[in-house]
Structure 1
Amino acid sequence: MRAFDSAKAQSSIFDALIGAARKHGAKKPILEDQERNPLTYTDLIRAAFALGRKISAFTRKGERVAVMLPSSSGGVVTFFALHAFGRIPTMLNFTAGIRNLKAACELAGVKTVLTSHRFVEQGKLHDLIDALETLTNVVYLEDVRKTVGLSDKLFAAAAGAMPKQFRVAVSPSDPGVILFTSGSFGAPRGVVLSHSNLVANCRQIAQHIPLDPNWVFFNPLPIFHCFGLTGGALLPILEGLKAFQYPSPLHIKQIPPLVKDTKANVLFATDTFINQYARSAAPDELSGLTFVVCGAEKVREETHNLIAEKFGPIPLLEGYGATEASPVIAVNTPTDNRRGTVGGLLPGIETRLETVEGIPGGGKLLVRGPNIMSGYLTPGGGIEPLPGGWHDTGDVVSLSDDDWIKILGRVKRFAKVGGEMVSLTAAEDLAAAVWPDCRHAVVALPDPKKGERLILVTDRRDADTAALIAHAQQIGAPELAVPRKIIKVQEIPVLGTGKTDYVALQRIVDAEIRRAA
């Protein structure tokens, strides 16, 4: 474990913002979105006080206030506005569906949801709003801003000049945000991250990868997801870099020219999205990037090659994290980028590997450190702390002598076929090697003869098992890892974060098996 000065993280999020403004200059442009109205540190702090004062009139200190907004200047201002007055942002995943959203609000005890008319209209989210209004008070920020008067502006100006005197003081160990896990494999869980968890993760990343304050970060990932919130918004702002927010990663044709126009140096993406941007982009639209950071899913070799061939030597830095870790646990660096790994462990994180029967060469990863969550939300609004501070990632990994991590698979992503443990991730990699331009996912079903059997779901229309078997034989992979049944679909279901939606995938497979029976 590399040394990390945890004292650097002993700050509230708003105080970290104030400290960044002092260090990097109050007049430095720090935040922008597609409206192209850049905000300086002073602008951001004043806007947070003006909006926060209004929100404080109908909420109370310590209240969990839900935020349902896209990645935008408005979304970031709202996040800091809640912190200026000691409220706890509770970030709602508007792509999770009505049932999950209502469950999230009930679990967190949310009484107020902040959103915007424009966002609801553009996203066609009226059904979500109708459902949330049965549980909560939905407040539109356009309506709130209309009520900002002269006294509010005078207050914001004074608070902007002396922010430490006007902000509500909180402890670094207090809840800084409530997020919900992606739900890739089941129902989302409520994760409570403290102020110091989030600040620590920003400091850990900055110690691991030297950041240039002149850089521009381009973030199209949602701020309801920890990768988008911490990496795409908090990290640049707290470390003195300009954060450009874009409302949706799905705008494949619009994003590459905007990356060029904003003179972005760092782009945040998942493998799915960066692959699509690279195919859509003109050669000069991404070539100005210093590097790309990829998380949430495995980066395919084909994506690495595509970027290199089309845009030159732009490092595609694969990282690894979990919502429970604020989220970054490890990431490759521009000067040490090892394909096939998820990078080096961040400073200050302890690891423990637990043996998993039947899986040689690695173990289940547990992590502990200043960025690891306070705990999970419990029914009734409490917080269940982690035993001894250790978070069980559920991932089976190998660790090099210098703490570089290679993911072997998730514990729940292994199947027992003919008495042998088989990685479903490795089975997906087989399909990706044979058909690199397509998307693939593998699930396991019970089998009376072999224990379990593997099912490949793919958008490759002419996929067949013979090609998979031939490739497995060529590379010496065990034939048990070759799926013997293939289900072809128009597209692989994904979550709003770009991860494969294995819950939806299982439903597709179950329906197909019933239909074929």
Structure 2
Amino acid sequence: MKRAFKASDTQTSLFDALIQAQKRFGSDKIIIEDQDRKPLSYGMFLAGIFGLSRLLKRHLGDEGRVGMMLPTSSGGAVSFFALHALAKVPVMINFTSGQANVKAAVQTAQIKTVLSSRRFIENAKLEDLVDSMKSYVRIIYLDDIRKEITTTDKLFALAASKVPNLFVKKTKASDIGVILFTSGSFGSPRGVVLTQSNLVSNTRQIEAHIELKPEWVAFNPMPIFHSLGLTGGVILPLLAGLRSFQYPSPLHVKVIPGLLKESKASLLFSTDTFVNQYARSGEPEDFKTLAFVVCGAEKVRDETHNLFQTQFGGVPILEGYGVTECSPVVAVNFPDNNHYGTVGKMLPEMEARLEPVDGITGGGRLWVKGPNIMGGYINIDRPDVIEAPKDGWHDTGDIVNIDDEGFVRIMGRAKRFAKIAGEMVSLTAVERIAEEVWPDNRHAVVAISDDKKGERLILITDKDDADVSRLTHWAKENGAPVLAIPKKILKVEAVPVLGSGKTDYVTLQKLAEVDSKAA
């Protein structure tokens, strides 16, 4: 049965929710594992939390916010909750965003210390980034301070894991649960303050939307600086009693299919880009234990759906929709009622309204309200001020259509529309045309200014023999408007993506503008 959403869910702190899960499912239940293959039960997980929190307390003093630059792993999850045990706020550092954005994140969140790991820095080849960070923030390596643990510390951790309520520093549901930074796919990242209530509520909304079975295994390769990787991949399994397998990178496309098989994964959290690559690298038996795959961040291509339908036993891919400011899940499809081409229905307890947009018919700009809507933004120019959403409503910036059954279809980002000869053209829709013509390749469309028509479209693709005539022919055959066909194609070795799996439109826009000036 699905878990009913309760009013009390919005009043529960994150650590209290973890303790409730331990009581419900039992201290001995194995709950989390990673590539080191040392599975942890709830009791062992809590002991790890209190052991690390005791060490961190000696090093962090009264610092209220602490950075985390760690891989998706059991250790990353333990570190996150260890900070909560001390009533400190984790600030997730996106180590893929570049030196300038990392520095801006540190300054915006006003943190003095970042937790990391020497092993991780070496494996991820982040030495240059860390060297630059040392000029403005202190780095604490967890593999160093773990050497300081004493027998007394171990006894404390064991005792605290038995009666965690007596040892955790109390916080309120309304206190900050995490500070994340938006992906920066369309501009500079912003600090997003999610309360503990936001995080707990979003997991409970998901449980009320889709039945999750405690015997399932959730496989999470998404980075924990990404809201789907943190909430969906780490917090949700812990609070819902699902065993999870944490893996440090979605990019290991030849390794992950085999691990899905070995871990007997029931759920996989990912994006279309990565899932498509897993399907191409793996064998049918690698995916046979999956109940379904949850994809966010980008539209799932028909090709990806078809691969899983025809080659992997009909494993459904549930397309969902989330934004960091919503903790992040807003809507998702159902395993038994999966409407391809939509992102499913809104989660329980969410309100939505559509505001008209000039030049766009059949949809509107989506605003949402609910218990998972962020506490607010923080910006580098006013880091002490949390800018809360007015009246609790968040402007997603997405143009959507909601059908009579309540299924949501994403038409595109508001800023992903171009005005060409007075007509509004969805850049997302243009990308879909390219995907229809060349389904085995990755494509992106940007708009640049044009003196005659206002804006013009540039298709950027990794298809080395792509040509405009193929697009024009498809448009004529399928009744697509001529305005939707790019007149210019830029060919690249690989279309750049962010660490979250989203297309890096900032880099692509610069590439198109430089090419235009050079022409």
Q: TM-score range by the shorter chain?
A: over 0.9
Percent identity between the two aligned chains: 57
Measured after TM superposition, the shift of residue 46 of structure 1 is 0.8
Q: For the residues of structure 2 that align with 1:218 and 1:168, how far apart are their CA atoms?
A: 30
Query: What CA distance in whole angstroms lies between the structure 2 residues aligned with 1:320 and 1:173?
Result: 25
Q: Among 429, 436, 441, which residue is 2:439 paired with?
A: 436
Deviations 1:400-440 (A, max 9, x none): 22321000111100000110000000000000000000000
**Which residue pairs with 1:473 in the alignment?**
476
Deviation at 1:514, TM superposition (A): 2.4
Q: Is the 8 A contact 2:448 2:512 kept in 1?
A: no
1:391 aligns to 2:389 (yes or no): no
Which structure 2 residue ranges, 5 or more long, are not aligned? Answer: none
Counterpart residue type for residue 64 of structure 2 = E
Q: Give the corresponding residue for 2:503.
A: 500
**2: CA distance between counterparts of 1:285 and 1:170?**
42
Cα deviation code 1:50-88 (max 9, x no counterpart): 101111222245711000001001100000100111010
C-alpha deviations, 1:435-465, integer Å up to 9, x for none?
Answer: 0000000000111111111110011111111
Amino acid at match of 1:453: R
Q: Which residue of 1 aligns with 2:251?
A: 250
Supply the distance in 1 between the matched residues of 2:5 and 2:210 (Cα, whole angstroms): 14
Read off the aligned partner of 1:212 and give its amino acid letter. Answer: K
- Paired position in structure 2 for 1:160: 161
2:64 — aligned with what?
Answer: 63
Cα offsets for 1:339-364 (capped at 9, x unmatched): 00011100001111100000000100
Number of matched pairs: 515
TM-score (norm 2): 0.98
Which residue does the alignment assign to 1:416?
A: 419
User: How high is the TM-score relative to the length of structure 1?
Assistant: 0.98
* Local SS of the residue matching 2:232: helix
Q: Which residue of 1 aligns with 2:202?
A: 201
Give the distance between the partners of 2:332 and 2:383, measured in 1 at CA. 36
Any residues of structure 2 matched to 1:40-189 within 5 Å, and which? Answer: 40-60=41-61, 63-189=64-190
Shift of 1:508: 1.4
Partners of 1:102 and 1:366 lie apart in 2 by: 31
- 1:274-289 equivalences in 2 (<5 Å): 274-289=275-290
1:6 Cα offset (Å): 3.1
Distance (Å, rounded) in 2 between the aligned partners of 1:134 and 1:311? 50
Is the contact made by 2:431 and 2:444 (CA closer than 8 Å) also made in structure 1? yes
Whole-Å separation in 2 of the counterparts to 1:240 and 1:61? 33
Contact 2:53-2:85 at 8 Å conserved across structures: yes
* Aligned match of 2:228: 227
**Any conservation in 1 of the 2:253–2:281 contact (CA below 8 Å)?**
yes
Match of 2:454 in 1: 451
Q: Is the 8 A contact 1:60 1:87 kept in 2?
A: no
1:277-317 alpha-carbon deviations (Å, 9 max, x no partner): 00000121112211000001110011101111210110000
Q: Secondary structure at the match of 1:416?
A: strand
1:61–1:86 contact (8 Å) kept in structure 2: no
Determine the structure 1 residue equivalent to 2:18: 17
Shift of 1:270: 0.5
Map 1:309-324 to 2 at 5 A.
309-324=310-325
| Letter in structure 1 aligned against 2:492 | V
- Provide the rounded CA distance (Å) in 2 between the counterparts of 1:154 and 1:9: 34
Q: Which residue does the alignment assign to 2:296? A: 295
SS at match of 2:248: coil
Q: In 1, distance between residues paired with 2:418 and 2:58?
A: 54
How far, CA to CA, are the matches of 1:445 and 1:489 in structure 2?
18
Q: Deviations over 1:240-268 (max 9, x none)?
A: 00011000000011000010000000011
- Contact kept, 8 Å, 2:121 with 2:127, in 1: the verdict is yes
What one-letter code is carried by the residue in structure 1 that aligns with 2:239?
L
Q: Which moved more, 1:241-250 or 1:397-406?
A: 397-406
Structure 1's 135 and 23: CA in aligned 2 closer, same or farther, altered over 3 A?
Answer: same
Rounded to whole Å, the distance in 1 between the matches of 2:195 and 2:363 is: 31
Distance 2:422 2:134 in 1: 51
The CA distance in 2 between the partners of 1:384 and 1:131, in whole Å, is 30
Q: 1:211 matched to which residue of 2?
A: 212
* Separation (CA, whole Å) in 1 of partners of 2:5 and 2:261: 35
Shift of 1:4: 4.3
Instruction: Indicate yes or no: 2:465 matched with 1:462.
Output: yes
Distance across 2 between alignment mates of 1:205 and 1:399: 19
Task: Give the C-alpha shift of residue 381 in structure 1.
Answer: 2.7
Which amino acid in the other structure matches residue 139 of structure 1?
I
- How far did 1:478 drift? 1.0
